[in-house]
Amino acid sequence: MYQETEKFKKYGKLFMPLVGAVLLLPFLAAGIVSVCLGNFKLDGKKVSMYTAAIDDHVIYLNSDEGKKAVEEADKYVAYLQEAKRAAEMSMQWFGNRFKIFGRLRDKRAEEPERAAAQAQTAAETKTKQESDIQERGMKMVIIAGLGNPTKEYENTRHNIGFMAIDALADKYHISVMDCKHKALIGKGVIGGTKVVLVKPLTYMNLSGEAIRAVVDYYKADAESDLIVIYDDISLDVGQLRIRKKGSAGGHNGIKNIIANLKSDTFLRIKIGVGEKPKGYDLVDYVLGHFSKEELEVMKESLENVDGAVSLMLEDKVDAAMNQYNKKSKGE
């Protein structure tokens, strides 16, 4: 059956087992990978070794069997390629899982820090809420100055209320920068009394909306715990007039406050900005800026406002009226 060469006769007995072992190794490896992957079946009965290389000679048992050997070799090449692809997919799968595990590990490592930050935020929020609740239950006097927001209205006659609040804030080191209740507000202490300084951001004609929101929030008694400071064209420049109640007197800001509070009983400090000259439009006049001379007078007037407020916070409203309600010229 075999056509042997002389070299094959000489070395065949020793070489054949070695050749068989070498040729069986790929099949064995392919079988192991296939069994692991579950999609490769190796039939040992159909596997035969048909070729052997000895000193550049190839011995074929017969031509048909040689072809079968080539076909079987091609099959194993295909099997190995499939096994390689399966192995690469497996490695990729495990790699992805390791990445996921790594991310989970990093996430778990961050959890204590995140939990600590959340706990701190929750504690700060709780403290602020408790502080707000406590403040809302305490007596606090609201001092509101009327005016119009935005830079174009700074130092105008209609904004003297804002100027009075700024002067109080500067003297008593109160920051009026907290934007709440449609207004800029600042909390502080004047003469031992807790106060809330307020500058409505609603523009003058809707001042009552902000005032009502602040009064409601702090549960204040508007009759005794609210002081409103604003301009009055019926008073000489710098003159003060303190009142416990009264009508709006044509002032749109006060008119809106009365409408929102549904009451005209609240403390007020009116600051004179001078009567409108003949021929002037009223709106143009009140939205006009003070002259240098008027500003000098207003500096002294704002100091008087501070004195009046201090007395009023001590429940000495009548004393404040007697001291600062000076008669204007001609009265």
Specify the DSSP element, H or E, that contains 267: strand 267-272
Reduced to 3 states, what is the DSSP secondary structure of residue 280? coil
Q: How far, in Å, CA of 63 to CA of 72, rounded?
A: 14
Residue 267 in contact with residue 244, Cβ under 8 Å?
A: yes
Q: Dihedrals φ, ψ of 283, to 5°? A: -65, -45
The owner of tokens 């040689």 is 66
Longest CA–CA span in the chain (Å) reads 148
For 237, which DSSP code?
T
181 is catalytic: no
Q: Burial level of 16, CB count in 10 A (0-12/13-18/19+)?
A: middle
Reduced to 3 states, what is the DSSP secondary structure of residue 116? helix
Given 158, 181, 251, 289, the catalytic residue: 158
Nearest to 207 by CA among 171, 246, 158: 158
Residue 238 in contact with residue 317, Cβ under 8 Å?
A: no
> What residues are annotated to the active site?
158
